Amino acid sequence: MWQFKAGVGATIAVLIVLGARWIVSDDTDSDIAHKPEPSATPVPVRPAIKHSGIDPGPTDRMMQSLRPARPLPQRFNNYLAQEYANSAVTRQVLTQIAQGWSQAVNNVRDPQDAKRAGDEIAQGIACALGEDVLAKVNLDQQEMLDRIKAARAVMLDDESDTVAYLRFQSLAGGQFFDDPQARPCRFDPSVLLN
């Protein structure tokens, strides 16, 4: 258990550092005044919440408490369609992580909200770095982390989103995120092509 927390903590720390470097860099090509357009792409359906009287587990409890997800920015959907047109698994896993980023940017008001968004991001990262996903897309963990970092740069390529994400990071700092269990993906990678 501690290895998982350390691994997720290290991954999140790397993403935070890279995000800070990206914010500070002199990227004059980005249009800061550009506002994201609402997406026409439907939001992925979340698994049904169990109502059997049995504890549904940390992932289902987390989903019960999250506010409805906003559509992902169109620039992000366009990026996925262009960069990963031949990999449905990569598109799905990056979309799952982006839903957590969207929660972090749009729905974090206090440390509890930050914990829920952080849990969702951690679950998406665990999905992306899972053996079944990596085998399906024929990548190692570092290559997948590079894809995650590139996708996050597109997702947060807006000044207000970047500021909101930094606020999320300050509220989430020092918290432990839930173990995503054995099946962190909200989709079945085995049924998708590459």
Distance set, CA 172 to CA 25, 57, 62, 75, 150 (Å): 24, 21, 15, 26, 22
pLDDT tens sequence across 25-73 = 444 444 444 444 444 444 444 443 333 333 344 444 444 444 556 789 9
Give the torsion sign (CA, 191, 152, 131, 183): negative
Sequence ranges of the domains in the chain: 2-17+72-191
d(CA 56, CA 172): 24
pLDDT tens sequence across 172-185 = 999 888 888 888 99
* pLDDT of the residue at 8: 54
* pLDDT of the residue at 194: 80
CA angle 175, 105, 46 (to 5 degrees): 85
* pLDDT of the residue at 30: 43
Question: Mapping DSSP to helix (H, G, I), strand (E, B) and coil, where does residue 62 land?
Answer: helix
For 50, which DSSP code?
P
**pTM flag (> 0.85):** no
